[in-house]
Amino acid sequence: MEARNIKKITVLGAGVIGNSWVANFIWKGYPVNLWLYSAEEEITAKQVVQGHLEGLVINGILGEEEIPKMMKLINFTTSLEIAVKDAQLIIEAIIEDLTIKQKCLAEIDKYADTEAIYASSTSYKLISDIAKFSQFSKRCIGAHPYNPPHLIPLVEITIPEGERGSKKTAKIAADFFELINKVPVILKKDVSGFIANQIQSVVSTKCEELLANGVCTAEDIDKAVSFGPGLRWAIVGPYLIAQLGGGEGGIKGITLHIGKANLEDANEQAIKELEQYADFIQEEVNKEMANRPPEFGNDNKSLRKFRDKVLIKLLKAHKKI
C-alpha cells in the first residue's frame, strides 16, 4: 500500500484527541468512521468536531458553507467491525490503558483489512507493548499527535521493536501525514513519551521545582516560557536556535564557548570530547539546514530573516509590537 491508497480513515474514540483527529481528516476531505465507546457520545462528538471546523471558519481558513458537507463525511458507529472493515488507516484514540488498547487491537485484527495501518495516539505506552499480541504487528505504529491534532502538525511515529515492526509501515504513514500537511517524525526507537512529551516532562518538572521553591508564581512561569523560549520554539527547534545564537561560529562555536566555560575539570580528554561533540552537532545542524526549503531559511542569513519574520507575526498576535 502507498499513502495515496488511503481513502477512508477510522478514528476510534470520540474524546479530546479522537474528535480533533476527525476534524482534521474531514477538513482534508477524507470520509471517516468514528467509533464511539457509547452511542451517547455522538451528540457531543458532533458539537466538538463542528466547533473545530467553526474555529477554522472564524480564522478565515474555511468557508462556512463547507462545514455541512464536511460533517456528512462522518459515519458514527458503535460497532468496531463496521468502524474498521473498510478503512486503510485506523487511528486509535481511546483511553490510555494498555490492556484496553491491546483488547481493542485484538478485535481490530479480526475485522480490519490486513493491509490497513493501525496507528495508536498513545502518549506514553509503547507500541511494542500495545501490539504484543497482535497477529499483524507489522501494520502497527505509534502515531502521537499533539493537542489539538487538527491544528498542530507534529505526529511522532514509532514501530514495534525488532522483527515485529515495519519501517515500511512507518514510511507509508509518514507520507500520508505529509500529504495532509502534517509534520511526521519517525523515531529510531520505541520510547515512552516519544520526543516532545519527554522534553515537555523535563520542563514541567523544572516548573514544579521553581514553584515549590517559592522562586516565582505560576503566572511568572507561564510568562517566562511563552514570552521567552516559547516564542523561539514556535519558529525553530533548540538546535537551530543555538546555530543562530552562535553567530558566525554557529552551533559549534556556541557549544565550545559555553562548554569550555562550564567544564568542571578542563582536562585534555574532556576538551577533546567537547570538541568532538561540537563537530558532530555542527554536522547534524548542517544536514538539517540543507533539508530546509530556502523560504524557511537554509543558511544563517536566511534563517535569521525567517526567524524575525515569524517572531514579528507572533508578537503582533500578542500585541507586543
Ligand X SMILES: NC(=O)c1ccc[n+]([C@@H]2O[C@H](COP(=O)([O-])OP(=O)(O)OC[C@H]3O[C@@H](n4cnc5c(N)ncnc54)[C@H](O)[C@@H]3O)[C@@H](O)[C@H]2O)c1
Binding range to ligand X, per CB under 6 A, among 144-152, 173-181, 241-249, 253-261: 144-152
Which x/- pattern, by CB under 6 A, does the window 18-37 give for ligand X?
x------------------x
- Told to check if 17 binds ligand X by CB under 6 A, we report yes
Nearer to ligand X, 94 or 105 (CB): 94
Least gap, CB of 247 to ligand X (angstroms): 37
- Told to check if 263 binds ligand X by CB under 6 A, we report no
| Of 15, 153, 193, 230, the one binding ligand X by CB under 6 A | 15
- Phi first, then psi: give them for residue 72, nearest 5 degrees: -70, -15
Nearer to ligand X, 192 or 286 (CB): 192
Binding range to ligand X, per CB under 6 A, among 88-96, 156-164, 203-211, 309-317: 88-96
- Told to check if 303 binds ligand X by CB under 6 A, we report no
Binding range to ligand X, per CB under 6 A, among 64-72, 89-97, 173-181, 215-223: 89-97
- Told to check if 282 binds ligand X by CB under 6 A, we report no
d(CA 164, CA 267): 45
Rounded CA Rg of the chain: 22
Residues in the chain: 321
Angle among Cα 237, 239, 240 to the nearest 5 degrees reads 70
- Report CA dihedral (297, 170, 11, 75) to the nearest 10 degrees: 90
Q: Which residues of 214-232 are buried (b: 16+ CB within 10 A; e: fewer)?
A: eeeeeeebeeeeeeeeebb
